[in-house]
Amino acid sequence: MHFEITLVLQLALLGLVTGFLAGLLGIGGGMVMVPFVTAILSHRGVAPELAIKMAIATSMTTIVFTSISSVRAHHKRGAVRWDIVKSLAPGIVLGAVLASLGVFAMLKGSWLALLFAGFVSFSATQMFLDKKPAPSQALPSFQGMLGTGTLIGFLSGLVGAGGGFISVPFMVWCNVAIHNAVATSAALGFPIALANALGYAYGGYGLASLPAYSLGYIWLPALLVIASCSVLTAPLGAAAAHRLPVKKLKRVFALILYALAAYMLYRGLTA
């Protein structure tokens, strides 16, 4: 009983921290969540390969819930470009299904950990340098949006992230104002997460080695506690962003991300 209370407290703290950071720095919680959930599952005796996959799937599924509160806040300010959401969503769903139903199940957990480490290192570097792509053109045609959406959905499904790491730079590059790009990316998080979550649940269904209370690759206790807590602190993080030196905070956080990437690199090489 004591052990289960400890587990709930660990997951609650993780949810509160990831929610706050998501609101403060505009990052998906997956970058923080995946390494810690991997560690918690491994500590509970789940095989390293499976622990990595379940952490990625669970992290992505929490975005289904956290994106709703984020989108509501952005929509009230009229910042979401719903025309872009409609154009990218079909490709996103296609890419997410390809990743979560097919490639995710076939790839070894160790390869996914290495891919995650690379993605987090890239995101940390972008955050540390605070680089904004130089705007150069308008949004592409339907085929271009379909292709971009597919890429966003596919890569998101493999690393358990909400897709902002591709969609925000892409929109800014296409002359979409940065605040609109961030708000629209938050809205895109919902179809990305929902399509991937359904794929993870179906793709991992019936696996013999899953821990108790699993729905395919999704670990329900972590999903329930983390999603409940992160929704509470995301608005606080967003409010703090207007009062704190976010540029400096991003640099400090980038260093933390490098440490988390190093941990996932270690897990990938030793899994």
In this structure, are residues 70 and 19 in contact, taking their beta carbons and an 8 Å threshold? no
Q: pLDDT by residue (tens digit) across 155-210? A: 888 888 777 778 888 887 888 887 788 888 888 988 999 999 999 999 999 888 89
Per-residue pLDDT, 134: 65
Paired tokens of 94: 């296609």
91: confidence class by pLDDT, cuts 50, 70, 90: very high
pLDDT at 221 over 90: yes
Per-residue pLDDT, 183: 84
The range of the structural domain enclosing residue 145 comes to 2-270
Q: pLDDT by residue (tens digit) across 80-90? A: 999 999 999 99
Per-residue pLDDT, 102: 81
Cα distance between residue 45 and residue 59, in whole Å: 19
Phi, psi of 116 (to 5 degrees): -60, -45
Per-residue pLDDT, 201: 95
Total-model pTM = 0.84
pLDDT at 216 over 90: yes
- Mean pLDDT for 251-271 is 86
pLDDT at 126 over 60: yes
Q: How many domains does the chain have?
A: 1
Q: What is the distance of C-alpha 63 from the center of its chain?
A: 7
Q: pLDDT by residue (tens digit) across 8-48? A: 999 999 999 988 887 777 666 778 899 999 999 999 999 98
Per-residue pLDDT, 267: 87
